Structure formats: structure tokens, C-alpha cells
Structure 1
């Protein structure tokens, strides 16, 4: 029945409250809107712009509210308690029935708010962002956002025609968090936050914690929940059984959008795992997959830190790809970019009207190289945002490793800055102490929560202790940064510089190939031939090599053989595994046509790919090449000084003392009866890999099998072997 009698208008709103609600600057809209028990009954107040009428409905109750103008509707009903009610909102073209968002208690707990305030919420993605849920028996989505400087925040989306007047959020005190539960809003809804800045202006922002986004260039966030059922239990159970630095670790670096342009995550899952498994790589490293507005940034300018890019599908589609790689026995490393973020005015920059994620000092905030903004690592909430983000990718997407980009730019206050453009730290030094603390916290948290995950630093300086434990203090007084591995940028620059020289000049640069062993055990290293080395005029790996096409390929193969035998893990960027001659372009990706049987030189490229397959096969089966990568006992020079011959000969030794002899010869001539000292304990040696083999495109200069030592002293050994060294080739031998 409709109780006509006793329905009175509610007490009028204070004009200030009315203006603040309409203007989106009220910090506590729930105190005025919804149902409130007071003297005379229950007062209902609703703000629904453009509505023609609003009716409250409950069991035994139906009451049309008074139109108070400007979209406000109210009534005072003679009730003793607040009923569970819905609203019937009539518009010109439709009538909607919905639960009133302002009748709900906060859908985020006090513990969540406490942890956010402390900067210690390790599962921040469960507390902030858009979370579909059932709250007080009603299904909908809880929206939460950290915006401590905002005068007001409203949710806008396709569910309210991008008008947030009826969806004002409440401020949850000193936490800086704003919250609103919207009944009836579910997965797939598009949304943003309309923030009123301290100066009264408004800005429309994507959700920093969005777990899904629109496909760029569209910028809205998308309400999402995962429904993926994982099938990688066996992989997850065994991945932490052996420390990464004592295990085979051979990485294929991939830019997903251009590996096979046009493929979705699910289509990639049908092709990439099989290709990588066939070549024998243990891991893939994915260039950044977090959402980014400009494809030409390759993902290194991130706007959606919690969302895989929508260019290739949904977050669950990306989970499907990771799952497929795991089921093929391949680990997944992801490039992670916590050093900076772009200035797009719909993303993180001055998010709530003032510097929030970036440093408040403009000189500290502006990244001098990339036109971006640096994070304020000294702010606990920002540090929490990033630490939780690292955990998020590992736990929600089963990522096995994070390669942290641009660590050097984070560590030094004077990075790319001239004198007078930076201020020293509290001790007068150039170290960014806040960044050091953040990296230590991130690494410690990831290793504690995610067994088997490895973190890898792209760090190009001589910073002490990048891969040292955080609790071990070094000579400089800092604890280690806590990474598992570090990119060896010095090895990369020196070795590429060496092979770019004509063979006749290489003897003058011999030390560029041997110097890496001076510091090889100062950190746990990865040897990276990454995307950075094959773009922007640097030429593809094979094109760096001097000589004609035969010599270029031979140099390429010899270099890969040297790289796979050198202490440290390996990383090779896509396209280099088959000697692509052109620089990489994100527009078209690898030149797969080079492997087409109709191409006249197809065998040349297939031969290099066959070599990479065999390098990985022999590498994985030979503990000497990986078991003692990080200790001096795993390596011994046979001859590191044969500069006139362009020869590098060394032993790799496993934990049981079993050796592998690696000999790289970077001259375009055959050297016969080349004597090298070998351990007397080995009665005979057998070639296990020769980069000059005919099947790889070489001249097939080989050694007789087996090679037997002679009692002739050489290189400090009582016995030695005489080898035939093929031109521009690497030969591996192991005990026969």
C-alpha cells in the first residue's frame, strides 16, 4: 500500500551542503544522502539529476519523494527503523529500479585502511581500485581511490552517462582514500574518477589501480575480475627447488605486440611456447606488458601499472598465455618499470591536483632523459603502490621474474643532471636513499612472498651490492639491494665493441673480451643482447660484424658460442636467433620471411637458428656451464692472452669437477695444431659443439674424435691437446 498520509518533505539541506554535493566537493555525501533515522521518522534524500520522479520501495512501503529541485528528491517517512529499500527512478525515456548507493556502509575494512596509512598493504590491489563484490547482500562494484589532496571525488562511467553528480564518493578520514559502492555495476563497465582539485578545478582520471583498461588510444578503466583457472600447478611447485643462479637460465626476449604482429594473447599462446621450447630457451622475457598509451615507447612509459595492455586481449587472456608457457616448461620474466611514468593528464601526473606519485620538488620529479616524471620513493603510499605492484604480477599472473628497468636512474640523484641541477642527500652524497630503501623493500617482499621468483636489475654502473642480500652491509655502508641477478652491461658493451672490429685489428682490443672476468663474481650476472642493442642505428647483431655475408654469419655464430660459454646467464632478443640483418622495428617485428624455404638464403638463417637450438640443448645438459656461474671455482683460463691469434680458451667446471673446454677463435683463417693445456685427469676430449659445422652454415672444419692429450706442458698443465681451430668459430669440447 502507498502511505499517502504522514509523508512530509525532509528538512531542507543547508545551502552550503547542497552546493558542495552538486559541485562534487563534499567529503561525506553519505551523511546527507540515503536514509537517516531521526526525530519524526526516517529521512530519505536522493540526488538524481534529470530524473522526473524518485520512489522509495520496501516491503509494505512505496513512497514518492518530493522534488526539491536541482535533482534532489526527499521525504520524511514515519518509520521507526531504516528498511531495506530500493529506488524507482523515472526518467523521460525509462524507469530504473536500483539499490541506493548511499544506504551502504563502507565496503573497505579498517585493517585495509590502517595498512594503507602505514604504507604496508602488500595486497593493495584487493583494497583499492574497482572490485566487483556482494556487499550487504547486494551485488555491485566497490570503487576506492587514494587522492588525499582532492576536495571531492566522483565516479563517472558508462553506467551513469559519464555524469558523476549522483556518484559522489566519501572520504575515509586521514587515509586519503575515497570510497563508494555502486549496486548493479559489474564487470566490463567503463569508469574514471572525476577529481575536484584543491583549486576547485576538475580533472578526469583513469584508475591508478585499474586491473583492466580500454584499448589505447581510449583511456577509460574497466571493471574486471579474473575467472582464469590455472593449469600450471606442476610448474609452480618445482620452480623454486633450485636457486636461479645455480640453474640453467637462457632467456628469449620478446616484444609481444610485434613478435607476430596482430596476434592476440590467446593466439600467441598457440605459437610462442612451441617456438621457444623448440629452441631450448628456459625463459622468455616480455618487454613491458603493463598498459601504456604510446606503442612506440615499447611499454616503457606506463600509465596502467596493474593492467596488462588491452591491445592483445583481456587480463585473463594474458594469464592464459603465461599458463601455456608454464605448461611448456618455460618461465616468464616481465619487464617492470618503477623508475618513471608519463605526464598524460588523465593518468598519474599531479593525480589529485598536486604532486602525489611524483616528487614534490620539480627538479627531483622531472626525468631529464625521457620527459617523464620520477616516483617519490620517500612517500610511503607511493612505495606501497610499487611494492604491491611487483607482488601483484607475481601472484596474480604467476610471473616468474621481474627485470627492473633503469635502476641506475633511480639510484643516483645526479643521474643525467649537471652540477647545480641536483641536491645531495642528507649525508652529502649522490645516492638516492629513498630509492635504495624502496628497492630493498621490494626485493625482500617479493622473495618472501613468492618462492622461486627472481628479480633482475638493469643497472649499468658499479653500484656495490646490487645482487647482495639486503641485510649484508657493504663497504659503502649500504645493505645490498637484494636482486637475484644483474644485467652485465659492461660485458655487453666490451664484447660487442670487440667483434665490430675487423679481425686484423682485434688483437689491439683483446682485453675487451677478457676484462669481464676481472669482475665476473662481483655480482650474479646476466649477459644481455637485448632489444636496446639492435635498434636506433646500432644495427642487428649479425650486421655489426665485419666482412662479407659468410664472415658476418661466422662471426655471429662464434660470438653466440662465446656468450653461451662465458660465466653468467644468457639473454637474446628475438630475431637474433636466426641472424636477422635488419634492425628491429616494433612496427613489423622479426623478418620471419628469412626462414621461408622460397628465400634463396633461407638455409643461412636456418643454420644460425639450428645453432641456437644446439647451444641451448648442450648448455642445459652441461652443469659446468651454469652450476657455478657465480663462483670463481667454476671458471679457469687456459689462455686468455692469445691476442695475436684472436683466441680465447677457458674451462668451465661443474660442482663435481667435470670440465668443458671452450675455445673461441675470431680470425678468418684455419689454425692447425693449436696447442692448449688441459687437465691431466681427462684422458680424451670430444667436440660437443662447433659453430663452423656445415649444418649451421659453416665450412665444417672439425677435430678428430676423440682428441687425446699429449704429455706436453702448456698453459700450466702437464698435458695438452692440439686442436684445429676453424675460422671465426667457437668449439666446445668435453671429456669423451
Structure 2
């Protein structure tokens, strides 16, 4: 039809393109104007015997070998879609689409937003995406690697030889792009990156939305077909303010809750368990992909990929959807503070310090042997902000608990003098990290009203939950680590010594309203030789269980929301390990079964009584009580809602029952006993107040406070005071 024309390209250029080490292979390969109405087609087909371009119109163009496996031909007339027919010795004709005939799948606006660090839908343009391009089905690939000399896609589709699938540089954006026809969902791939040092590195896709199951490390092309059923849940969530709602969180390490369950298999038993216990939310320890199981997910290599250990991304969507339909919120642990050094992942991604800060005094985490993100770089900050949005958008999570915020806030965190550099004002605050946290919080709340951003922050940094427009960090909640540390110190003491340390139990009231707090008894408190929560309690088994119930009721009555790690609800004795399931067999023993029943009653009573949660962040809704005399083993306070309803929380952490304890309650009348941790049904001694306490004019009441117990009393102004009975 048309004769091939002599190649006009330099052999060195052709060799670079053939070997997949040229930054713009599309400038050579594919279809190009040849002048005077003619077009040239070039393709890479090493070792081929014949190569022919076959147009959709039926036209055939025979190509000739030019150099280094590059074939070329030209023709006159209009251009159009074509495929390449190739023959090899003793083999049939192989027809395939040519990646290099396709136009870019990423637009100029996307590139601009990426450069500016403002692309809130970053995962929709970077990474791998099954799509149709120029009438061909396949997968587009896009990756940020600004310091690379060349980037190639390798995978099971090309026998992990990327020479024929080099990507094109999209200029100053640092983005590399390639559409590869005929690649579909389930294809494994990585990027081969030629760094500025001349070394090739094989890297998993930072934006991959699925990964191979560890210890394999490839990224996996994925396409979701899941159809959500939680529309009503999301609509209601958008109207809510979590700080004014009940929140009790059940923290779960998915792999060891019940070992061996997939995301889908866990849905029914997890819903049944959490519903029976009355928790409002589940918090999953990190489910983003991580190579090392004993890291519990806190050393992430795939920020956009749910771990494949338990199923596909759609399987996780199914689990979250089911939880929502059962009325249970989902919080996910998120780790933007550091990432591991694994060679296949983010570390020195394009041969240079890219995601990590280049100065080791700011870019290396000494405690954990990990790397710290460069929060001052637009593209890195964008990667993390978009990742938070991704979990809300794609997986409908209701909150992110941000791990290790303190390590992000301070440049001298866990560093000695001379091991850190001050900020531009000479201070120790990491200004870039602070700006990032403000941006991610403000952006998430703007796009997803009703969600919760939660800080694990262990210092006295001011304004963690203050709005960003008031110079706060903008979180919705902060873990109250001070409360946790103080009260665990108190509760492990023998009751005879507790009167001298009541400050450990009550000091939190001084600052309880300075932030929106969550009181956490988390996984960190039941590992590394600390034992379990029940194991902290002194005395015999009965005393331990009694103290456990009293402590939990004090915790649930204290201002703030609550979080309890799995296994503590039934009094697990053995220290938690990620290697095997919880000791569910303990529920065959009545004392442990009763403890679990108590936690269910605790949550149910908490949720029914608005004074215990409606004004958690309002100091005027809280009062200490204790007159006419203060007993150092008794801690008592009241909580009020907006309608004047009042609940009194009275704790006795001594080993002796107080049978005629005088207490000045804020109002006269009947105070109904709505919770007594010493009730016989929970395994207690059964001491109580016959269901109520009566306060005389002025509020003076006399009541029984059992040993090692907490009693909740609700004021009922309309209730009739019972007449005294004759003996």
C-alpha cells in the first residue's frame, strides 16, 4: 500500500526508546505527522519477523525494521485507530493494540492542581485505573517521580520486563503516564524507576488501591463494583455533631479479634457482638497495607490499599456497609506521621528523598526506625490530605484516629540537643506539620460534615480541638492520655493506699473541658508487659472484677467519650498479641460472662441518659459533690443535660462498704439508682439503695455505697417520695 520511509531518527535515541530508558517514548513511538499529508507509525517489536499496522478501516501498512527493535512505516491520508500484527519465527500472527498511539489520560488541570498540592481527588488520576481510551479497553498508569530519568511499568502482563512499557514524562509536574491496552482488574504491577544516580529501582505504586497479600509486595489493578446500602446512615451523619452525641468505641485489631475471618466473614459475628454490648462505634487499628504483621498496621506501605490479608477492597466496603446498616459507626486508625524504610515502597521513591524530608534531623524517626514525611512539600501534603479524603469517600468511614500526633508537632520529639533543627522562628514546633494537620482537618470537615477527626496527642499542645480559624489544629476529639495514665496508676494501688492518691483519679476534672476528649483504654495499655486491664486490679479474682466494673462505670460517667480495647469487655487475662485470637473461652466462666453483660448494661444505660454525653465539653454542666464531709475513697460528681436532667456518679474505691454515707445532692427528691456495679446480676455482693435515694430539702441524702463500686443516680423530680413504713 505504502512503502516504508528511511528512519530519520538518531540511533542512540532509538536505542534509548527501545530499552525503555527515554523520558518521552511517545515522541518517537506511535503515530506522528510526516509532512505533506503523510503520517509515520513507529512501534517497538524486538525479534519480530514481520510487523504490520492494521487500521480499523481495514487498511494494512507494512512496517520495516529501523534500529534496535523499532519498526516504522508511513502513509498518506487520514489517520485512525489501528492495531499491530506481529509475526515471529514459527509462531502465529499476534495482534495487539499499541500503548503509544494513545493520548494522555491525565489533563492539564489535574497536573496544575497536583503541582499546587490542591488535588482533593488525587486517587482518581494517579495510580492505575481500568478505563477506555481511544476506543480501547485497558488500564492507565500515572505516578509522581520528579527526579527520575525514566519510569517503566512492569508486571505479570509483560513477564516483569518493562522495556516495552516506558512511561512519558508530563513535564514539570513530575508525573509519568502510560495507558496500556488489554490490562484488566487483577493485574499485578510495579514501577521500574531510573533514578538520578543511574540505578533502577522497582517500586510499588504509592497510589495503588489494592496490593498483593504480604509477603508479596506488588500493586494490583482494581476496579470496584460495590453498591452501597448506607444512604440513610450517611444522610443522618451529615446532620449530626458527634461531640453532642453518645460515643463509646470498641477498638479492634481485625486479625486477632477472631483469627482467620475475612472482611465478609467477620460482618455477622462482629455486628452481633458489638450490638449486644451497645457500643456506638468500632475503631479498627490500621487496615492500610503493611508488610510486617507485628507492626499492627502502624508501618504503612500502601496508604490507599486496604490490606489484602482479609479480602478485597470491595469486601471491606461490604463490612463497613453492614456495620452502618446495623447502626454502628466506623473509625479507622490513620498513620500520616511516618512510614517504613522498605525498599519496595515510599523510601527514596525516585532515587532521592521524595516523600521523606531530606534532612535526617527532620526526616528520620529515631524511636521507630522509620521515615518522616516532608510536610512542607506540596505534593507530599496533597498525597496525605487526599488519602484522608479517600477513606471517607471510597469507604464511608465515619472518623479517622490520627496516630502519634505529638511526634508530628515537635521537631525535637525524642531527640537530644544537636539532633534537631529549630523552625524559622527558632522554636521547636514543626510548622509544616501543623499546617498539614490544619489543612487535612478543615478539608475533611468541609467535604464530609458529621465525621470525626481524632488526635492521639499526648502533650499539652494548645488548641488541638479548637477550630482552625481560631489557630487550633481543628480536630474533633483528642485522646485524653493524661486521664489514662493517672487513673491506671490509681487503680493498680491497693485500696488501703488509694485515699492518699485521689488526685490521680480527680485531677482530670481540672482540664476535662479544655479539649473535646475521648478517654482511651487502648491496645497500647495491654501489651509489652503491662498485662491486661483486669490484671491491673489488685486483690483476689472477685475484687479484681468488682474494681473493673467500678472503674469502667467511673470512666463512662466522666466527661468525654470512651474507648475500650477488645477483650477487656470480658476480662481477658492474657496479654494481647496479634498472633492469635482473644481468649473467647473465658466466656464459658460465669464471672467473665457477667462482666461482659455488665458492659452491655453500662453502654445501654449511658446511651439512654443524655446528661452523661450531651454536654461533654461544657464545664457548666459538671459539678463535684461530696459534702457534708469528704471521704478520700469516695469520688462523686453530677452531669446535666440542656433540659435540666441530672445524673450523679458516686464511686467508692475502698475495700469497705459505706452503709450510711451522707451526701449533698444538688436537688431534693427521688434519685433513681440506674446503675450499681455491685449488683448481684453482675457478680457483685448485691448491696444497694432499694432502687432509689431520697434527698431531703437542701439535697441532703443518706445512701449505701458498696465496696469497690460505682453507683449512678438519676434525679426524677416527678417521682413520689415513698411513705415511711412501720416496723
Q: TM-score range, shorter-chain basis?
A: over 0.9
- Secondary structure of 2:469's aligned partner: coil
Per the alignment, residue 493 of structure 1 pairs with 485
Among candidates 617, 621, 627, match of residue 614 of structure 2: 627
Q: For 2:671 and 2:687, how far apart are their aligned partners in 1?
A: 17
1:645-724 paired onto structure 2 within 5 Å: 645-680=632-667, 682-711=668-697, 718-724=698-704
Alignment match of 2:333 (pick from 305, 328, 335):
335
Partner of 2:434: 436
Note the C-alpha offset of 1:465.
0.2
In the superposition, relative to structure 1, how do residues 50 and 250 fare at CA in structure 2: closer, same or farther (>3 Å)? farther
Give 1:54 shift: 2.4
> 1:452-601 counterparts in 2 under 5 A?
452-472=450-470, 479-596=471-588
User: What's the CA shift string for 1:30-72, capped at 9, x where partnerless?
Assistant: 0100122203732221113344432211123223322345332
Describe the shift of the 1:723–1:411 C-alpha distance in structure 2 as closer, same or farther (beyond 3 A): same
Counterpart-to-counterpart distance in 1, 2:162 and 2:605:
62
- The two structures have a TM-score, normalised by structure 1, of 0.95
Paired residues of 2:166 and 2:178 also in contact (CA < 8 A): yes
**Which consecutive residues of structure 1, in runs of 5 or more, have no partner in the other structure?**
473-478, 597-601, 712-717
- 1:645 CA drift (Å): 4.4
Cα deviations by residue, 1:347-386 (Å, 9 ceiling, x for unpaired):
0000000000000112211101100000000000000000
Taking a change above 3 Å as real, the CA distance of residues 91 and 551 of structure 1, as seen in their structure-2 partners, is: farther
Contact 1:636 1:650 in 2 (8 A): yes
Measured on the aligned residues, the alpha-carbon RMSD in Å equals: 1.4
Please name the residue that 2:724 is paired with. Answer: none
Q: How many residues align?
A: 713
Partners of 2:475 and 2:437 in 1: CA distance: 9
Partners of 1:194 and 1:52 in 2: how far apart? 28
CA contact (8 A) 2:15 2:67 kept: no
2:52 to 52, 55, 60: 55
Cα distance in structure 2, aligned partners of 1:322 and 1:499 = 36
CA distance in 1, matches of 2:388, 2:97: 37
Partner of 2:389: 391
Residue by residue, what CA displacement relative to the aligned partner does 1:281-312 show, whole Å, maximum 9, x if unpaired? 00000000000000100000000000100000
Q: Deviations 1:583-624 (Å, cap 9, x if unpaired)?
A: 11101131111113xxxxx11111111111011101111010
Tell me the CA shift for residue 95 of structure 1. 4.0
Counterparts of 1:431 and 1:280, CA distance in 2:
40
CA distance in 2, matches of 1:326, 1:536: 34
Q: Is the 8 A contact 1:49 1:165 kept in 2?
A: no
The CA distance in 2 between the partners of 1:529 and 1:197, in whole Å, is 46
Deviation at 1:644, TM superposition (A): 5.1
* 3-state SS in 1 of match to 2:598: helix
Inter-CA distance 95–309: structure 2 relative to 1 (3 Å threshold): farther
Q: 2:148 maps to what in 1? A: 150
> Cα distance 1:153–1:246, how it changes in 2: closer, same or farther (>3 A)?
same
Q: 1:302-344, CA deviations, whole angstroms, 9 ceiling, x for partnerless residues?
A: 0000010000000000000000000000000000000000000
The answer on whether the counterparts of 1:253 and 1:285 sit within 8 Å (CA) in structure 2 is yes
Per-residue CA shift, 1:523-563, capped at 9, x if unaligned? Answer: 00000000000011011000011111111111111100100
Structure 1 residues 463, 64: CA separation in 2 closer, same or farther (over 3 Å shift)?
A: same
Q: Aligned partners of 1:647, 1:60: CA distance in 2, in Å? A: 91
1:72 aligns to 2:52 (yes or no): no
Task: Report the TM-score, using the length of structure 2 for normalisation.
Answer: 0.96
1:733 maps to: 713
Question: Is the contact made by 2:19 and 2:164 (CA closer than 8 Å) also made in structure 1?
Answer: no
Residue 237 (1) aligns with residue 238 (2): no
Unpaired segments ≥5 residues, structure 2:
717-727
Instruction: Provide the C-alpha distance between the structure 1 equivalents of 2:532 and 2:628, rounded to a whole number of angstroms.
Output: 29
Structure 1 residue aligned with 2:405: 407
- Equivalent-residue separation in structure 1 for 2:92 and 2:185 (angstroms): 23
1:24 is aligned to 2:4: no
Question: How do residues 100-249 of structure 1 correspond to structure 2 at under 5 angstroms?
Answer: 100-249=98-247
1:68/1:610 CA distance change after superposition, 3 Å: same
- Matched position secondary structure for 2:435: helix
Query: Is the 2:550–2:708 contact (alpha carbons within 8 Å) kept by the matching residues of 1?
Result: yes
